[in-house]
Amino acid sequence: MMLIDEKRIHEVIDSRKPHSVALNGPEGLIPRIQTSAANITEKFGIPAYIIGDTCWGSCDLNTQAADILGVEILFNIGHTIANETFGERVIMINAYDDISFDRVARKCASSLQNENYKTLSLLTDSQHLNQIGNVKEIFEEYGYKVIIGKGKGQLNDGQVFGCEFYPAFDIQNLVDAYIFLGQSRFHSVSVAMSTEKPTYMLDPYFEEYSQINKIAQMFKKKAILSIYKAMDARGIGIIIGLKEGQFAKIQALKLKKLFEQLGKRVQLIAMTNITNDHVRIFKGLDAFVEVACPRIAIDDHFDKPMLSTPQAFALIKLLKNEPIEDLLKIHHWL
């Protein structure tokens, strides 16, 4: 069960005495957030608004919604990062899953002994960060050396985002395989894509573990295919995401200049939710680049080629007849 750190929410409200607050978090947490909001109103007698728009991470805080609502505090729930606050108003609140990894970790540690891995590294997303220590001890009991990669920027030790992998990437020469704690294909696939090392996902709910590299290979092929499909595009739409943590206008202007030098016609577009339905409206453009969340281009389906920032730079290389291997073997896809 997901447990929201309501104690911290109440401490903040107690000390700052706001007239109203807002809460937002990932879709799967909304029912729990509803309970937290009701508890705030019951205890403090103030309105607690739940922002129902998507909230993908610390890159997607919905501060504009908080502005419009006029709240003094916005609690962002379930995206544990190294920062506890963003400015005066946004407070990051932990939400941890209390499910145990003991059985699946033992199952995996025992089976992988056939693979002759000596050194493993554990990684996870925010909701299972509190389990890394226990799982490390289990793998060590089975004789593995276990390294937890150092965090950087917003990332804690052993934590990865869907587009940022310092704790995995920086130690790749020291480890034989990665073990990702949690049911997130979204995160584990990106570890496999950015390191190209054996990567396993531990699912504590079904008590199963699975190697994720074949799926990662499929995503990589799709990403490369889109780049080749975009080569003949005459008109390219460059989409600037309007979510505050994904806003990259400078990158968009840099890419515009580079594409124009290569004879492409570029149109600049700004959009909050980048979906095929929104993009297909634009006429006279043969391919798109989105400089917002790279996973939109890599994971989602679009009628016309849609490239993330690293794919766009790879396209520029291809247009100059330069090689593009290792385009996603980088520590950050933005």
**Closest separation in Å from C-beta 24 to ligand SF4:** 14
Q: Which is nearer to ligand SF4, 75 or 165 (CB)?
A: 165
Site for ligand SF4 contains 59 (CB under 6 A)? yes
**Are the C-beta atoms of 3 and 55 separated by less than 8 Å?**
no
Binders in 293-322 for ligand SF4, by CB under 6 A: 293, 295
Task: Closer to ligand SF4 by CB, 120 or 149: give it.
Answer: 149
Q: Which has the closest alpha carbon to 144: 188, 104, 111, 100? A: 111
Q: Assess 163 for contact with ligand SF4 (CB under 6 A).
A: yes
**CA–CA separation, 60 and 25 (whole Å):** 9
- Work out how close the CB of 260 gets to ligand SF4 at its nearest, in angstroms, rounded to a whole number: 26
Shortest Å, Cβ 296 to ligand SF4: 7
Number of residues this chain uses to bind ligand SF4 (CB under 6 A): 9
Report residue 261 as tokens.
Answer: 């030098």
Sequence-distant (≥ 6) Cβ neighbours of residue 308 within 8 angstroms: 223, 289, 290, 294, 295, 296, 297, 298, 333
Q: Which is nearer to ligand SF4, 40 or 293 (CB)?
A: 293
Minimum distance, C-beta of residue 334 to ligand SF4, in the bound complex (Å): 7
Cα angle value 185/186/192 (rounded, 5°): 75
Query: Is the C-alpha dihedral spanning 139, 167, 216, 322 positive or negative?
Result: negative
Closest CB 106 distance from ligand SF4, rounded Å:
31
**CA-CA distance, 87 to 77, in Å (whole number)?**
16
Of the ranges 54-62, 113-121, 194-202, 321-329, which one interacts with ligand SF4 (CB under 6 A)? 54-62
> Is the CB of 177 or the CB of 293 nearer to ligand SF4?
293
Residue 209 backbone phi and psi in degrees, to 5: -125, 150
- Give the CA-trace dihedral at 180, 221, 236, 285, to 10 degrees: -110
Binding mask 102-141 for ligand SF4 (x = CB under 6 A): ----------------------------------------
Q: Please report, as ranges, the residues that interact with ligand SF4 according to CB under 6 A.
A: 56-57, 59, 161-163, 246, 293, 295
